[in-house]
Structures are given as structure tokens and as C-alpha cells.
Amino acid sequence: MGILDFLLGEFIDVIHWTDDTRDTMVWRFEREGHEIKYGAKLTVREGQAAVFVHEGVIADVFTPGLYMLETNNMPILTKLQHWDHGFRSPFKSEIYFVNTTRFTDQKWGTKNPIISRDAEFGPVRLRAFGTYVMRVSDPAKFISEIVGTDGEFTADEIGFQIRNIIVQAFSRVIASAGIPVLDMAANTADLGKIVAKAISPAIEAYGLAIPEFYIENISLPEAVEAALDKRSSIGIVGDLNRYMQFNAAEALGRGEGGAAGAAMGAGMGAGMGAGMGMAMGGMMMRPDGSMAMAPGAGPWGSPAAQAAPATPPPPPPVEKVWHVAQSGAVSGPFGRGHLGRLVADGSLTRETLVWAPGQDGWKPAGEIAELAQLFTVAPPPPPGA
């Protein structure tokens, strides 16, 4: 073995790249003077590609594998360096390693609302966001179109441009899709496929591909969403008049002690209706029960009627309610009529303890004047009791 062969064996290059990041797309192999020795070993791992750039021109692209940089492995660069004539001195070239794996969870979103015309709501403003997956499909084109001479290129550096392409395509697709706003949530998968197809030519021009594209949400302005919520609530309620009547009756029942309160509310409503009818008509009741026009009252709409508006009668007094203590448990509140039914079926006796708001402690029912009358009208116990 000659001294030249020995020196060549001692100075064989080993060129490789071990990526310890999550977002590096391109990394340039650094060597002082960019001198690569003839016969160097090049290791390209799975998910990588190696691009040789000689004097500013892309010479060769290597896919995953182990290579000896010799004449038979680099036809383009060999032609440039005339290695087929036995020229074996170091050559000056740049080697760029390109990460060809998928870059997942890349986010996109509309910075400003997109105005779209909806058949039901008219012009609406929409916002949308989602994710996509990106990978380098053509390493040589990606180097020449995007990276240039950058020694280390990350996914964030191209992400902004891709998001602009996505938003532009999404705006065009939404405007021409003709899908109602309320049905867009059910069609996000189809819309995603249309957008991915629309952006494919522009992305391929960079040497990239978008194998996966997702639309996570399409939303309306908060004010429009609040109006839709109200509209949904009205649809659930149904007949508003019946709903209001139900709420009014339920409120009276809670405030006046159940059935007795509801009955009182109905009576109060009837009394108020009669009083208002008499007042509007300018009528008065004679001692014999007949109706007559009140003095000074004119026909409906006359100055006399307008000058003397009817005064509504005062509301009836609120019925007093009672709580009942039996066997260590408290029940109620009950109106006086309900307590009368309890006396009739024997559930309430004179010795039963009762209490009402404003009363000083629990007292037997027979000692309270308002309730003592209930026991005087109660029927006697049955024979043989």
C-alpha cells in the first residue's frame, strides 16, 4: 500500500445528520471550506434526503441509504468534476439534509372574518380554524424555491406562507360552496377535502405536500350566536302565551301555598277584571244590583271618561298560612281551607302543634282562634270509635 492510499484511508469523511429537534426541515452539513473528500461515506437515514449543491447548482439528491461518494454514485457531480479521468482531489460542495417526515399539528386560522352570503340569514361573517400535516415531497425543489442558502430551516419559517394560502383557498371555497351556515358543522370533512385540493398546486410549487387537512370549527360572531340561542329557546318553549300562563300560575302557587294560592290568584284576577270592566265603561252598581252610568261619566272615549280614569281596587289581603308538626316532621305551609280538610279526615286535632309567621313558637291548633272554629264544625267521631 502506497503512502497516497494510506493518507486517503486516514482522511475518509463520514457525513450524516442526527436530528434532535421536532421542527427542523433542512440542515446544512458544516465543513470548513465546504471541502468533501472523494470516497467519503454518506449516511442518509429513513425520513431524510441529502441534496448536493455544487457552485450554487443542485447536483445530486440521495435517498435513504449508505453511499461512497465516488464516480458511480454521483453521475452529475462526476461530470462536473471530471472524475472519470481519475481526478481525486477534495471538491467544494454544500450538502443539505432535508427532513422528509410529516410535520404534524400545524395550525391555521382566519385572522379576519370571512363574509359569506347565507340563504337564511343573509350576509354573515365567519371565522374558522384547524390543523394540517405538512411534508417535503421534492427536496431539490424545496431547497431551490424556499430554503436557498439558509443553513437551518424550520417549519415555522414556511408556516406563515402556507397559512395565507389556506385562508385564501378557504375563503373562496366557503363563498362558492352554497352550504347553509347551520349545516357547515356537519360538512367540515367535505369542506376540508375541497380546501386541500384547492391549495395543492400552490403547495406543490414549493416542493411540499399536505397529506392531511382538518377544519376543527366554523363559528359566527358572538352576537349572532346569542341570537341563535334565543331562537332555539323560543322553539323549545313553543306557544308563548301558554308558557307565560303556566309560569304565572306556578309563581302564584309557590307564593301562596299551593292549591289555595292558585285559587286565590284566579279569584283576584277575576275581581280585577270585573273592576276594570266597570271602570272602563263608566258604570256603577245600584243598591238593587242593577248597573247604571256613573254621574259625570260619558260614552267611551269622551272627555269625561278620559278625565276620570278608573282607580283599581286594592289587592285582597294575603291569606295566612300554617306549618304543622307531627311525629317530629314539619309539613306545610297550608291555607285554612287545607287545614279544614285535614281536620275532616282526622289528620289534624286540637292537640296538633302548628305555627304561622309572626307567631310566638308552636301552639296546639285548638288554642288558636282562627283554627279553633275548624273543630266546632267538624263531624263527631263515628259510632264505636
Structure confidence at residue 336 (pLDDT): 77
Judged against a pLDDT cut of 80, whether residue 70 lies above it is answered with no
For 188-202, give one letter per residue: b (16+ CB within 10 A) or e: beebbebbbebbeeb
Mean pLDDT for 296-319 is: 60
Q: What is the DSSP letter of 147?
A: I
More confident: 33 or 245: 245
Backbone angles phi, psi at 179, to 5 degrees: -90, 130
Residue 357's DSSP bridge partners are none
Q: 93-146 pLDDT, tens per residue? A: 788 999 999 999 999 999 888 888 888 788 888 989 999 999 999 999 999 988
**C-alpha separations of 157 from 98, 112, 150, 201, 293 in Å:** 15, 22, 11, 20, 91
Under CATH, which number does the domain 322-376 receive? 3.30.1490
Reported CATH class of domain 103-224: alpha beta
DSSP 170-188: HHHHHHHH---GGGGGGGH
SS3 283: strand
Q: Rounded to 5 degrees, what are φ and ψ at 112?
A: -120, 155
Amino acid at 149: T
Retrieve residue 138's grid coordinates.
421534492
Report H helices in 85-154: 139-142
Contacts of 22 (CB under 8 A, 6+ apart): none
Distance of CA 226 to the CA centre of its chain: 12
> What mean pLDDT is predicted for residues 236-249?
71
Average pLDDT over residues 221-249: 73
pLDDT at residue number 88: 52
278 or 178: which leads in pLDDT:
178
Neighbours of 103 (CB within 10 A): 20
Closest CA to 65 of 49, 88, 86: 49
**pLDDT for residue 261 is more than 60:** no
